[in-house]
Amino acid sequence: MPEMTAEQQQALQEKIKKMSPEELKQFQKQQCIFCQIVAGKVPAKKVYDDPLSIAILDINPAVRGHLLIIPKEHYAIMPQVPEKEISQLFVVAKYLSQVLLKTLKATGTNVFVANGLAAGQKSQHFMVHLIPRKEGDGVMSWDEKVLDPAIRSKVQQLVEGRFNELMGVKKEIVRLKEKTVLPLNKKEAAVEKEPEDESAEEDSSEKSADENVAKSQKPARNPKKKKSMNSPPEEDKTSTPKTEQADDQGVSLDDIANLFK
């Protein structure tokens, strides 16, 4: 179809503004390629037909077996489709989904609707996309196109934890990067806190032992006691080994070592 000039586009817009709703709908049907397919004026590979809808193979399929399920009446967007017809479209989608799973040995299907320009709708005729899927087909790589790997990992952990909690499954979720364990309920949280408390007690006991050693190493402030008549004679310092001698503060090395036993 040749491109329209600026004057022709302006004239067409003025003509459309003056059309009644019935005339506008008829004009849109004349311009719609899918309405031409329904009328048989444009060839297409039809795989399903009933009084309200048809299903055809997509001319630019995402994968082999990509189907388009369209209403026979012209509707631009979903809100315009009557409930009876839109229900029929999804009944057909359910039926054809089973057919694809059996005939193409697919392991899943995507039922996709692009409703409006902002949602990616490129055709002026409403339709339902039915795409057969297999593991690793590369149709849509969620790892690369949807979420950052770190965000996806956090979302997966939260969803899996909540799912397991609702299903009554006691399973710990370990974050690989943070090396932390997320408990599923309050009881498990209490159990996991106990080792932390024990480590805290060990730290406090070691700290108190260090303080005792520090206190024992402080110089003695008591005055020297006078020798009594019954006190034993002093040992010869030259004959006593250094490890057994008392230091100037009155504390031997053995006494300090005993604190750590």
Verify that 117 and 135 share a domain, yes or no: yes
> Can you give the pLDDT at residue 143?
53
Verify that 179 and 103 share a domain, yes or no: no
Verify that 130 and 87 share a domain, yes or no: yes
Asked if residue 124 lies in contact with residue 36, where contact means CB atoms within 8 angstroms, the answer is: no
Residue type for 145, please?
K
Verify that 147 and 128 share a domain, yes or no: no
User: The domain containing residue 163 runs over which residues?
Assistant: 141-195
> Can you give the pLDDT at residue 239?
47
Q: What is the distance between the alpha carbons of residues 78 and 5, in angstroms, rounded to a whole number?
A: 32
Q: Is 36 within a domain?
A: yes
Verify that 98 and 146 share a domain, yes or no: no
Verify that 34 and 157 share a domain, yes or no: no
Q: Is 2 within a domain?
A: no
pTM: 0.51
> What are 137's two structure tokens?
């087909």
Verify that 37 and 112 share a domain, yes or no: yes
Asked if residue 63 lies in contact with residue 132, where contact means CB atoms within 8 angstroms, the answer is: yes
Verify that 190 and 76 share a domain, yes or no: no
Verify that 98 and 151 share a domain, yes or no: no
Q: Is 236 within a domain?
A: no
Q: Is 32 within a domain?
A: yes
Q: Is 156 within a domain?
A: yes
Verify that 131 and 97 share a domain, yes or no: yes
Verify that 27 and 84 share a domain, yes or no: yes
> Can you give the pLDDT at residue 49?
96
> Can you give the pLDDT at residue 51?
95
Q: Is 216 within a domain?
A: no
CATH code for position 110? 3.30.428.10
Q: What is the pLDDT of residues 68-113, one digit of tens each?
A: 999 999 999 999 999 999 999 999 999 999 999 999 999 999 999 9
Rg, the chain, Cα only: 42
Handedness of CA 222, 228, 231, 237 (dihedral sign): positive
> Can you give the pLDDT at residue 23?
78
Final residue belonging to a domain, choices 153, 173, 195: 195
> Can you give the pLDDT at residue 42?
93
Domain count, the chain: 2
> What are 133's two structure tokens?
């899927």
Q: Is 241 within a domain?
A: no
Q: Is 103 within a domain?
A: yes
139: part of which helix (H) or strand (E)? Answer: none
Task: Give the chain's residues under pLDDT 50.
Answer: 1, 178, 187, 189, 191-192, 223-230, 235, 237-248
